[in-house]
Amino acid sequence: MTESDTAPHPAATHGRAAHVRGLVLAAGAGRRMGGPKALVRRHPDEPTLVERAVSLLHAGGCSGITVVVGAAAEEVTAIVTALGRDVDVVTCPDWDEGMGASLRAGLTALTRSTHEGEGCVDAVLVTLVDLPDLTPEVVARVLDAPGHVDNAHSAHPDPDEHAVELHKTAAPTNHELRATLRRAAYDGVPGHPALIGRDHWEQVIASATGDHGARPYFRTTPHELVECGDLATGRDVDTREELDTSR
């Protein structure tokens, strides 16, 4: 038995982040991958990338998961709904526009819905389906935010130059959670997942265009960075070769 077999599960260690829902952007066609990335398996006996994304968000502490689908929507939806957890699906009709359309579709749907009898979702943890080395530990760390990158002294400063270093020790109130804007960083370079409080959703929806997602909003809005470079690389993959060589 290895150390990983006996280590406490992140969800057991960190508990559920109440009122935080995972949001998986899985709508792309994956043209360079040879098909939708959501349906790709690293090895034949492994789960699809969308199944893996849903599982790690659950394990890291999200209260439930919403998956945005587009290309091969019916097939991806069938896989996701068969997981038998608090998972739902949002279809993005203009998915081929890019990541921005998927993010808009997911956030717009969540502004109108409730989950698990908890009332409105106060924040979403957004991730991409094509991050093969993302782990539950990264998710738990971004949700808990135990430490942050000092943007001014990072070896790779955030080009946005709007990240700030904050320290919180107590669980956030609903008001604080709604105001949260935070994302993972890998050796100082910002990436996914990103925790976006409800107070920011309207502006993110308005600014998310093309393949940039929430990047334009992060560029102009102060936010926290959570260093996760010791846990993963945070790199996305576009080709089968990149997937095969990712750790």
51-106: pLDDT as tens digits: 999 999 999 999 899 999 999 999 999 999 998 778 999 999 999 898 999 999 99
Predicted confidence at residue 102, as pLDDT, reads: 95
Predicted confidence at residue 165, as pLDDT, reads: 43
Q: In the structure encoding, which two tokens stand for residue 58, read together?
A: 């659950």
Among 175, 56, 44, which Cα is nearest to 122's? 175
Predicted confidence at residue 14, as pLDDT, reads: 47
167-208: pLDDT as tens digits: 444 667 888 899 999 999 999 999 999 999 999 999 999 999
| Residue 126: alpha-carbon gap to chain centroid | 3
Query: Where do runs of H (alpha helix) occur along the chain?
Result: 3-6, 10-14, 49-60, 73-81, 99-111, 136-144, 174-179, 201-207, 215-220, 240-245
Indicate the pTM of the whole model. 0.82
Evaluate the CA torsion angle 238, 98, 24, 79 in order and state its sign: negative
Torsion-angle region of 72 (φ positive above 0: left; ψ -120 to 50: alpha; else: beta): left
